[in-house]
Amino acid sequence: MTVSTKPVLKHVRTAAAVVAIATAATLAGPAPDASAGGSCNPGWCSQTWNDSGKGFYARKNWCKDTGKTGSYTTKEPTCNNQKETWLSPGERTNGNRDWDVFQVKKGRCFKVDFELTPPGRDFSKKYNRKNKKTIYVKVENHAFAKVRSSTC
């Protein structure tokens, strides 16, 4: 009787890949928080994806030393020669540059999925700005913000 080694080899390859990824993450060090200066280490930059039907602005700098991914402020971030980019439906910020903030304008409502590294800390949030001020939402360097819907 012959025993197949294919299932065993598949598990060995999977385990080897997990070890390689964990080793690379260990050598790179912990993920840095989003900085007010708009800088990040390649591979750890914050990114915002527009999977909704409406466009909105993303900004380079959070301009505060407090807050975590998903927190927001009504104070417009204007520090360090602030830059912004318009994200049309289907567009994303560049993953090799730091985009710490996205804007939810007065009268709009966004449903957002946040994905963080390390995995397992993902969450979703709704920002309802109907009859409320415009807000600016933080995205830390080790996070993705996926705007899924622009209506509530």
What DSSP string describes 91-116?
A: -B--TTS---EEEE-TT-EEEEEEEE
Q: In whole angstroms, give the CA distance from residue 137 to residue 68.
A: 9
Domain membership flag for residue 25: no
Residue with the two structure tokens 């963080």: 116
Closest by CA to 98, choosing from 132, 52, 58, is 58
Q: Is residue 8 part of a domain?
A: no
Q: Is residue 34 part of a domain?
A: no
Residue 57 lies in a domain: yes
- pLDDT, tens digit (0-9, with 9 covering 90-100), for 98-143: 899 999 999 999 999 999 987 778 999 999 999 999 999 999 988 9
* Position 51 in a domain: yes
Looking at every residue in the chain, the average pLDDT score rounds to: 79
Q: How far apart are alpha carbons 139 and 57 in whole angstroms? A: 13
Quote the pLDDT of residue 1. Answer: 54
Predicted TM-score (pTM) above 0.95: no
Number of domains in the chain: 1
Q: Which domain holds residue 126?
A: 47-149
Is residue 139 domain-resident? yes
26 in any annotated domain: no
Among 100, 109, 105, 108, residue whose Cα is nearest residue 77: 100
Token pair 């466009």: residue:
55
What are the phi and psi torsion angles at 148 (to 5°)?
Answer: -90, -35
